[in-house]
């Protein structure tokens, strides 16, 4: 469940634009194409770019879904959900990946990640010695 803390006023945070422009460029989309794929008016993005009006949470969720990213991540970057201490956007992506997986698959992924982590740790120890 998503709990939005407030409505944004004016400008969007720079972290949001870094994310938005990075995703948009990686996909080869224009602002207008993002708006179309998200099912929102292009003016929502253009007004936000000029600082005239921030993007509302409903549109942010649609943008996240158009980019195939977790809405929680986009709402955090937009400042509508408080940042977690030492927040990493990829943590929300991991959470969304495992959310609908069966428990055996999740356990296998965790075991693989732990094995990779142990391997890196051993490599670092070998490089120091």
Of the candidates 55, 85, 86, 88, the residue with the CA atom closest to the CA atom of residue 72: 88
Query: What is the average pLDDT score of the chain?
Result: 86
Confidence of residue 1 (pLDDT cuts 50, 70, 90): very low
- With 80 as the cut, is the pLDDT of residue 113 above it? yes
3-state SS class at 4 = coil
Stronger pLDDT, 43 or 111, i.e. the higher one: 43
- With 50 as the cut, is the pLDDT of residue 2 above it? no
Q: How remote is the C-alpha of 88 from its chain's centroid?
A: 9
Greatest distance between any 2 Cα atoms in the chain: 59
- With 70 as the cut, is the pLDDT of residue 4 above it? no
pTM of the model: 0.64
Window from 6-10, 19-23, 49-53, 115-119 with minimum mean pLDDT: 6-10
What average pLDDT does this structure show over 115-123?
87
User: pLDDT per residue over 61-85, tens digit each?
Assistant: 999 999 999 999 999 999 998 876 6
CA distance 113 to 129: 25
């Amino acid at each position: 469940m998503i709990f939005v803390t407030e409505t944004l006023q004016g400008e969007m945070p720079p972290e949001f634009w870094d994310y938005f422009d990075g995703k948009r460029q990686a996909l080869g989309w224009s602002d207008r194409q993002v708006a179309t794929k998200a099912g929102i008016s292009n003016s929502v993005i253009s007004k936000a770019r000029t600082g005239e009006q921030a993007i509302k949470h409903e549109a942010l969720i649609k943008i996240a879904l158009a980019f195939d990213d977790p809405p929680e991540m986009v709402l955090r970057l937009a400042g509508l959900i408080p940042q977690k201490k030492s927040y990493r956007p990829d943590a929300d992506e991991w959470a969304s990946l495992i959310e609908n997986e069966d428990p055996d698959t999740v356990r296998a992924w965790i075991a693989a990640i732990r094995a990779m982590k142990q391997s890196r740790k051993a490599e670092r120890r070998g490089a120091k010695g």
